[in-house]
Structure 1
């Protein structure tokens, strides 16, 4: 618990610290990676670092957490903390790594703010950091315990049993244990981390949703190649592109235990599953689970993509919906080409006004942040309760503190 004097100092200094976090975090990462280059090489996503995305995520998380401590009129950040804890668990983060972050973060605060940072301010914000850290550590211990493993012991070498092209830039990999044994239990909508050794010796890690995990004999993941856009400062995807060019049937690949909190729970209430692009992957995991359980639940599936050709798993998604008696599906494509629109195939961007959304629907949402924000606004206009809306973020949660994306 944070002391009352510390809370007073944090409340008084939050505007200054909060406005400076964007300047502090680049200095923090530079200091930490200079002292510990292994962390950038083998743990942190180098692509996100190059774009500054991880800095934005850390800044948003700290500011949101501090705001919650000193004010009741802020969005609930439980969902954000849960996403962070699940991501940490999938990376094998352990308690002894938090002091490393603390050392370099507070050195960066001192470097950026100088004499303005008094010992009293340092002590107060130290309490904030460790309160947030211990909240995450407790959550991560629980996540490790669910799989009955020690903290950090999440990695296994799996066999690529099958590889299939799903669209021009996506492939799916069917993974199994080399000894033929059973895999850990996964829940619909979860992901695994995949670690590969790149040509420069780095061991980079990325997360991929489980599109099928209904059997303990195999898992399926889908990997999208990312060519990068130099004009926008977006580097090519290191891990995804490496997998596309180098990982085939019979190879082994290092995977974590399954984590993630975008889990579709068993219930009878209507489901609304909304995705765009590669965001269809956790939705496929949910659909496969529903089919395996012969669910009678009302399900509406909405998917947006650039074109039919770009839509990964298009045929599989349609087959799964056909197997669910209470399910229906709509597509939106930015480019339909010579195809004509129908009652369920639309041209342009997703429009919730064209479908019936049940007032009590549980909504699961995954796709690029601009898409998800647009859909969230549409759900608000339909008066869907914020607590019914669940979403997954691919990459750093840079917009977790944005009120319009927060559940109540």
Structure 2
């Protein structure tokens, strides 16, 4: 890009801050109208709740702000790249996106979209597309080079379907071709897609792998949504209501950047709300397989509405009994009977401050966005460095806490 083009892109930053979501909303409506086949690729639930529009607006703004040196965005590029490879996004998709994004800039800005500005953003987008697709190709190469690895969608069989609580059911997925399954890092997710008759669409959803690597299968643990008619809940509820043992589903290879850090001697604090415990459970199971003498203190903190919806309660008790460094605290918003081992109410880290605040500890948080924000802000206020706090928000990123 020329210096003048970079300046033109930077000059749009105030407009993007003010009207970025308006632009991205117009972009998605335009693209999905002209290229309806992409409705099979995108999570249409995130279109309905505007999460995808907000996430893209934040990404475009960040790119414009750092147009002088886009390399500073590599952690973000890496995170998005993992999401994209799990959805089988390919270079040809970037061409379609670019065409509609540039057209949207022209249509939304109107007379303010001068030919020079359009040219500058065209060059800028092509630069970003090359950066993204190049990084994603490296991720695809890593996947295919793994033992049992693959790219794209691969059929798996549901061998076991296990009810874990009143709301959460686990699905044990084995490759239908009888081949090996790729290893993964605890905390990663897979994408799964099903055909939804209600929408006449294939729809993908991303689910954390809820067990430690085992070389045989992947386990996902899925919450049944109360509002099953909303697109965001349709795949989860179809898994609960229509997918049985022996049925086939399609999934992509494990991906994701929210993973257990290689720091055996450091204390690890896991903080989850509701179904947010699933990636953390994989981490704790992996740690429980390690030599307890070389493992630092492990603290499991989980909150949910009540005992009936508390999944993996017995599993965590087993792990706690077998691993001398693992302790747990449970919070129930509704407590039917007195239980000294359970706290009443939502997760309040201040109630267990002495156990939570450990020098040199790593913190892993997963749950709804407000839950993550609350725990993160408490830890920061208590002096925990941001680089020691790791979090995963399900769906398109809307939090920028670190």
Q: Tell me the TM-score normalized by structure 1.
A: 0.90
Match in the other structure for 1:53: 51
Write the distance in 2 (CA, Å) between the matches of 1:134 and 1:53: 25
Write the distance in 1 (CA, Å) between the matches of 2:249 and 2:376: 36
Q: Between 78-87 and 23-32, report the one with greater CA deviation.
A: 78-87
Match in the other structure for 1:175: 173
Match in the other structure for 2:11: 12
Deviations 1:145-187 (A, max 9, x none): 1122699933211111110111112110111123443211111
2:296 is equivalent to residue 271 of structure 1: no
Match in the other structure for 1:143: 139
2:379 is equivalent to residue 382 of structure 1: no
Match in the other structure for 1:254: 250
Structure 2 unaligned spans of 5+: none
Q: Which has the higher contact order (CA 8 A, sep 6+)?
A: 1
Match in the other structure for 2:129: 133
SS in 1 for 2:9: helix
How far 1:337 moved relative to its partner?
2.3
Whether contact under 8 Å (1:366, 1:391) holds in the other structure is yes
SS in 2 for 1:300: strand
Q: How does 1:9-408 map to 2 (within 5 A)?
A: 9-40=8-39, 42-69=40-67, 77-148=73-144, 153-199=151-197, 200-228=199-227, 237-267=233-263, 268-295=265-292, 296-340=295-339, 342=340, 344-353=341-350, 354-355=352-353, 356=355, 357-399=357-399, 402=400, 405-406=401-402
Write the distance in 1 (CA, Å) between the matches of 2:42 and 2:376: 30
Q: What is the count of residue pairs matched by the alignment?
A: 392
Whether contact under 8 Å (2:162, 2:169) holds in the other structure is yes
Write the distance in 1 (CA, Å) between the matches of 2:16 and 2:90: 27
Whether contact under 8 Å (1:92, 1:152) holds in the other structure is no
Distance 1:373 1:71, change over 3 A: farther
Distance 1:236 1:9, change over 3 A: closer
Deviations 1:77-100 (A, max 9, x none): 544332211110101111111011
Q: Tell me the TM-score normalized by structure 2.
A: 0.91
SS in 1 for 2:300: strand
Write the distance in 2 (CA, Å) between the matches of 1:121 and 1:17: 14
Please give the root-mean-square deviation of Cα atoms over the aligned residues, in Å: 2.2
Structure 1 unaligned spans of 5+: none
SS in 2 for 1:217: coil
